[in-house]
Structure 1
Amino acid sequence: NARDVERLKDTRRLYAFLKEKYSFETVDIIALLKRYSFIADQDIEKFAKALENDDFETSLKFIYSFMTKLKEIIFNPKTSQGWENIYHKRHIAIGIPSMYGTYREVKFEALGLTFRLENVATRLMEKVVAQINLNYISGKTLKNIYTILDYFREGLELDGVNNQSFNSNLRMLKYSLRSQSFSFEQYINIFQFLAEDVKRTIIKYFLKSYEIPLRIVVQQLFDSDHQMPEKELVKLVNKKSEQFYREVIVDAFLMQPLDKFISRILESLREMSDNLPGQMITEIMSYNSDLVIARLGKPNPQVDNQAFLGSKAYHLKNLRMAGFPIPPGFVITTEAFRRYRAINGHPELQKEMYDLIKEHLQLVEKSCKKKFGDQQNPLLLSVRSGTAISMPGAMDTFLNVGMNDDITQSLSEIPGFEWSAWDSYRRLLQSWGMAYGLTRDEFDKIIESYKAKYQVEQKIDLSSTAMREVAIAYKAALAKNNIRFEENIFEQLLATINLVFESWSSERAKVYREHLEIADDWGTAVVVQQMIFGNLSANSGTGVVFTQDPTKEKHGVSLYGDFALSGQGEDIVAGLVTPRPVSKNQPSAGQNPGRSLQEKFPDIYKRLNQMAIDLTENHGYSPQEIEFTFESEKAEDLYILQIRDQDMAGNRSADVFETPLDQMKLAGRGIGVGGGAMSGRLAFNDKEIQQLRTQYPGIHVILVRPDTVPDDIGMIFSTDGLLTGKGGATSHAAVTAVRLGKTAVVNCANLQVHDMEKKCELNGHVFHSGDTISIDGYLGNVYEGNYPVKTSQDYLEFHL
């Protein structure tokens, strides 16, 4: 009943009061501090706030500052005055004398408060230590360890315990962290020295001081008549002394936590040394878990740059924090890619990484009010690559991650998702299969067979039942090819992240990097975001829009692009569908009135136009290419998936060499100022240009000049490519070549042109009129001979 509840509460309060009175265990340190005038009220309030926020390190710093003030009071040589109000009485029943009342003396009270603060400090120190993962030791861990050891040092010195050897070894640890050449074995030695220092401190302050008194006291207590044999007495003294020492060390301020902390560090270091190869230890030591993952919606100065986040995520993060409609998510940074082997090779690093992913996944769930893996309200994810240097189409992308048979079936039963649930699932199954070696054609054959079966021309016309059959057929195709689809959705997410990382080493990605001379070390980030359903209904869709019309010379915002209905983000950029025009003034819009985004979804178009103006006029962006998705005709259901600088040349493809670079004969290098790869024959003047065109119909002619003057403009008009020994990107030749769309390499410093002899020399390679030569207008490379050339879509995005 209520009375018993009140009794229980009163008993609990009484126990707390008695505990605080007769021990140093403090129930409410803030209330206790406020009873005295030792500490300023504003400092107590700051301390209380730090405790409330679980800011253990700040709380500890406050306690140490309080203890410093109290120490000054305790050791003040000036005599202090005491005050008492004591009452004497006898027990009413048996007449035992007793007393009660109050005794106040400033040093005595400061001492008592110090003991209570020490107790709180010990608990805080234990919490600070618990925040560090000591299952492995990295450079970051060592920095945190040094900080904590310095807290221990400061606390012990406040308690009068000082060890110069410990302080010296601690300083050695501090300065070792500034050196890149310090070895792992040296760190083991430092902590061995520190462990030895702790033992010496215990002996000096807590063992030696009591050794002789204990012999006397134990004998007086247990052998006062000196009848015990010497051997038994020694054994008894040792036993009682051990019990006493153990209790003293346990009660000593910070000594036992310090001893356990250093012992755990040494244990971890030795375990790494015994079980891991040297290269793995080196990688772990340079690993920093603060750099491997970042939220899209929260600033993180350590990683907020394109080198860590990749270009895609960097701009998405800036836009999300600026209030643009960007789906919530997080980024696994390029640092995780660079540490990929260490993370996957060490169980503790891997577990820590998985825990970080779960933690950030929960934040996405909270933001979008959905739950990953929940059948009734599932959160689906997109998992995309994000390199610092754009490599469109070169790496894997996974959409609708978080689906399996049960979740898809449940989602399809939610009104509005009957069709899109199965369409999303078959997309995930296809991307999964293609990542494991199946071709797009194999899946196209399946869906084409169902379109024929149900006599429809487009997949959007398939019923939800038919789309379910397609998804089941896709899954059967995976099983037929011995490809296991991961049904556990968290394992599925981890697998897609790993597949994106691994796609950096795919053949197509290597080709991109090789021909553009992009270092393999850049790696990729992985962008994980809430999935937006552009395939939700006939009023949803996806598209790509330029903020400035590339077909017009007019500057400023003028939307131009493509979109598709009932599609997802990859449909337009991968060229998988027949698109519709974004603006009604686009040439293709005139052929199909009313089909443009501007006419069919005016609110979406208006919002896109507003965002384009905001980007270019208020946020300092040049004309942009925007990938977008919308779930309905409402403006609030429009999301940006990606932005990149618009290629103002309007050319969405470029020629590249098919031959690997190591099989091409490099003659020299200059500055590439226009065009892509070109193979042709060399000419020295306009007459030779015409002769070569007659002699070799259809071939490219490359004009070589020591430099260019205005008189050469005519030849630049006539030629296909240009190679010069002088002049930079702003030279007449460069400006004219770029304006005319010519392939040009300028400022080839070692090029010597002999007009009269109709030959040129470049690094020992001699070329005569009509000789075969190849140039790369992007890289600035010059090659001897001709090589096959192919056209690569979106290739020019490399230099966006």
Structure 2
Amino acid sequence: MAARYVYAFDEPSSGGRELLGGKGIGLAEMTKMGVPVPAGFTITTDACRAYMSNGKTLPDGVEKEIQEHLAALQEKTGKRFGDTNDPLLVSVRSGAAVSMPGMMDSILNLGLSDDAVVGLARATENERFANDSYRRLIQMYGEVVDDIHGHRFEQALTDLKKSKDSSQDVDLSADDLAELIDTYRVIYREETGRDFPQDPREQLARAVRAVFDSWDSPRAQVYRRTYDIPDDLGTAVNVVQMVFGNKGEQSGTGVAFTRDPSTGEQGLYGEFLANAQGEDVVAGIRTPEPLTHMEQKLPAAFAQLLDTMRRLEEHYRDMQDIEFTVEDNELYLLQTRSAKRTAAASVKAAVDMADEGLISREDAIARIDPAQLEQLLHPMIDPAARWEVATKGLNASPGAACGAIVLDADTAEERGRAGESVILVRWETTPDDIHGLIQAAGILTAHGGMTSHAAVVARGMGKPCVAGCEGLSIDLDARTITVGKTTLSEGDLLTIDGSTGAVIVGEVPLVAPAVNDDLKTILGWGDEHRTLKVRANADTSEDAAKAREFGAEGIGLCRTEHMFMADDRLPVMREMILAESEDGRREALDKLLPMQQGDFEAIFEAMAGLPVTIRLLDPPLHEFLPPLGQVTDERTRRRVKQLQESNPMLGTRGCRLGLQWPEIYEMQVRAIVRAARAVDQRTGETPLVEIMHPLVGFEEELRRLRDLTVRVAHEEAPEVEYLCGTMIELPRACIRANEIAEQADFFSFGTNDL
């Protein structure tokens, strides 16, 4: 039986999302639910994979299937594709199995030609609408299929609006748009060497191939690498009957979320543009109105949209991101998918849906991506800081960021990779900016709304974004921006607050946020099911307290070497290293002992009742000395040379230090047990102490160091209880682990070294 590659929205398919893609399966399921969806069909991901593997040639039978389904679509709609009187128009839209917002291509209004646009104007009695649709087709087709840079089309549109004294696209008349069509045709001919194709079937065939090709576009590849999406999934292509939001004031387009994707709060959230097509909203070309404004303009369609949003969320049991169009007061849904959302929104929505009985607590836990929770630790502007807002935009993605202004994605990538914090400032972002968005600390755009490309991608990445900032202007020639009344150059510092929409000149102090109740709730639910305990790395009492606040059940690694790097301690540490006798070393160590003891006391108090694993000194001693080239004192130069090793990370470090200079480890053990006793006496809380000897490879090494630990601890505080163990971080230690275990109360695993 020949492979099948095309399915109508109302045809059953057993392939699901992997076969039909996210958009295709959504349209098929909505059709089955009775939701108003335009008719159409899906060309499967199997076809895309075959196309890619066949040297970008469509597999046998696909074109025949497309024509058969196109004929069926004509039958359903009562219109003919290519008719010059009242043509059937279609969109060609990508739809991978995994949501990749804006990364692949779509084309609207396929089927229009010089003759068909006249027939469409006559059939609809709306010449302006027909001309607007045709000029959009030429631009989209040119950009997607023939790789014409969109700037040429946009500049032509901008120049026309200036000449007609029009501030918005909708202010242009039918004659103005006819003039623009002529200009676009000239651009197309200049860029491609041929006229814009008049055969609608040629348009459709080339558009399908172009959408398949967009799966391998540079921006899509960058996005997949960033989010660990396999390269072999491919994208489906959806051929959908066009419905028009640009027919007039009784038409429009928008994006709606069933909950706020920034906060997770219940309530109406989204945006709407009257007399527009969908790309105007998601591309950020125009700044839309809040969705609530639709109620006054199109009340019947608005009420139907609210009911449909409720049904879809109940059906999918998840927050939905919905694209819709209203044509002459008739609502059509073009897409529904699980909404991209911030970590805060993920947590809030999961907890609320569990409380509402929509999902179980187990489902709520599974909905949260653990890596995404790091977003909840993103900084916010210090409430105690003094600052003035230069201008404001839309609070499109929460969090705050400060960085150097950059005006293009390439610069953002270059400076971001170099470790610099940058704010990418654009009129609006496009999918081609993805490499810069990944490296930027925050995003600021002059155009676009809460559902624009910049906003959606920023929320998915957990980056702050301020969009639609009308008080922002950009001069790309001068490489400057103006925010409010202040002009800044590329490289100047700027702070944005994606939670409030504030834009602030200069650098403002940022602070870490507090853990909110919803996060505590879902972490508590997770605790009811987990079988592992989680400890934190912490080298200071402040780190320990923060770890405990976030639910850590102890400290798994406290690295003592960091305690010696403070300005008041490093000179004493160097004194110990440079000492030429044991007595000299012990004299310096006596100065370090109370410092270490104080550190340990603070950590034990912060972690009262929880275990603390303290790793004795690990790095080679030369790390505490200045580089040889910076040393002028001959005695110090001689000592630095003595300590130099060809491979210091496998040299005299870890337990080898403790065996060669046991007085170092003796001081540290003494400080640990003294601190434990002092905290016990002061608070009544007995510290749970674990002493780790690093880099052990042999049983004999740990036996000697265990004897040292037992002797010193017994001398200092025999009543203090502790465990003595090691970190398994050498291949030899893995092989000899059964022997080393004879001397160890516990093992930790140094997986990075292994």
TM-score (norm 2): 0.48
Instruction: Give 1 or 2 for the bigger CA radius of gyration.
Output: 1
